[in-house]
Amino acid sequence: MPERHNALPELEPSSLLAVIEFTETQVKNFRRSLLSWYPRHRRAFPWREEPSLYRTVVSEFMLQQTQVSTVLPYFERWMKRFPDFETLANARESDVLKHWEGLGYYNRARNLRRLAEKLSGRKSMPETPEAWRELPGVGPYTAAAVTSIAFGARAACVDGNVVRILSRIHSDDTEFRDGGAAARAYTATAAALLDPARPGDHNQAMMELGATVCFRTKPLCTTCPLLRFCRAGQGGDPEKHPVLAAKKVTRVEVPRLWCRRDNSLLLHRASGTARRLADLYELPDAQLLGLEAGDTESLGPILLRRKRSITRYRITETIHRYSPPRGRKVPLSAGSGLEWIPLDRLNGITLSGPHRKWVDELIAAEGEADSDG
Q: CB of residue 125 vs DNA: minimum separation in angstroms?
A: 17
Q: CB of residue 2 vs DNA: minimum separation in angstroms?
A: 30
Q: CB of residue 235 vs DNA: minimum separation in angstroms?
A: 22
When asked if residue 207 is in the footprint of DNA (CB under 7 A), the reply is yes
When asked if residue 305 is in the footprint of DNA (CB under 7 A), the reply is no
When asked if residue 29 is in the footprint of DNA (CB under 7 A), the reply is no
Segment contacting DNA by CB under 7 A, of 60-68, 259-267, 333-341, 359-367? 60-68
Going by DSSP bridges, is the β-strand pair 264-269/338-342 parallel, antiparallel, or unpaired?
antiparallel
Q: CB of residue 57 vs DNA: minimum separation in angstroms?
A: 11
Distance CA 321, CA 305 (A): 12
Distance CA 341, CA 167 (A): 51
* Shorter beta-carbon distance to DNA: residue 118 or 154: 118
368 catalytic residue (yes or no): no
Give the chain's largest Cα–Cα span. 85
Q: Of 60, 208, 282, 317, which residue is the catalytic one?
A: 60
Nearest residue to 225 (alpha-carbon basis) of 4, 24, 31: 31
Segment contacting DNA by CB under 7 A, of 200-208, 323-331, 340-348, 362-370? 200-208
Helix-strand-coil split of the chain, %, nearest 5 = 50, 15, 40
- Residues 119-178 interacting with DNA (rule: CB under 7 A): 136-143, 145, 159-161, 163-164, 177
Distance CA 298, CA 73 (A): 42
Given CA atoms 205, 209, 212, 215 in this order, what sign does their dihedral have? negative
When asked if residue 217 is in the footprint of DNA (CB under 7 A), the reply is yes
When asked if residue 69 is in the footprint of DNA (CB under 7 A), the reply is yes
When asked if residue 78 is in the footprint of DNA (CB under 7 A), the reply is no
Give the residue, chosen from 204, 231, 256, 318, that forms a contact with DNA under the rule CB under 7 A: 204
Distance CA 315, CA 252 (A): 5
Give the residue, chosen from 103, 230, 232, 341, that forms a contact with DNA under the rule CB under 7 A: 103
Residues 162/186, Cβ–Cβ less than 8 Å: yes
Give the residue, chosen from 46, 51, 104, 324, that forms a contact with DNA under the rule CB under 7 A: 104
Which ranges of the chain would DSSP assign to H, the alpha helix? 24-41, 46-49, 53-62, 68-81, 85-90, 93-100, 107-120, 129-133, 140-151, 160-170, 179-193, 199-212, 231-234, 296-299, 353-372
* Shorter beta-carbon distance to DNA: residue 77 or 261: 77
Residues 170/20, Cβ–Cβ less than 8 Å: yes
Binding mask 225-244 for DNA (x = CB under 7 A): -------------------x
Q: CB of residue 46 vs DNA: minimum separation in angstroms?
A: 10
* Tally of CA atoms within 13 A in the half-sphere of 356 that contains its CB: 15
262, 266, 297, 353 from 325: Cα distances, Å = 16, 15, 11, 31
Q: Which residues are catalytic?
A: 60
Residue ranges that bind DNA, judged by CB under 7 A: 45, 48, 59-60, 63-70, 102-107, 111, 136-143, 145, 159-161, 163-164, 177, 179-181, 184, 204, 207-208, 210-211, 216-218, 244, 246-247, 249, 275-277, 307-314, 352-354
